[in-house]
Structure 1
Amino acid sequence: MAQKKLHPSVLKFKEFVKSNPTIIQEVRKGNATWQELYEDWYLLGEDDKRWESIGTDKKDTAKNEKEGKGDFMSNVMGMFKNLDPNQMQTYLQNASEAVAAVQGLLAQFQGTNSQNNQVKPPEAPPHPFSFRQD
Structure 2
Amino acid sequence: MPETQSSQKVQEFKTFVKANPFVLKKVKRGEKTLQELFEEWMLFGEDDQTWFDDEEDQGEKEATTADKSNKVAGMLSAIKQMNLDEVQKGIEQFSGAVYSIQEVLSQFRSKPKQQAPYIHSHSPFPFRHD
Between Structure 1 and Structure 2, the one with more helix by share is 2
**TM-score of the superposition, structure 2-length normalised?**
0.37
**TM-score of the superposition, structure 1-length normalised?**
0.36
Q: Which has the larger radius of gyration?
A: 2
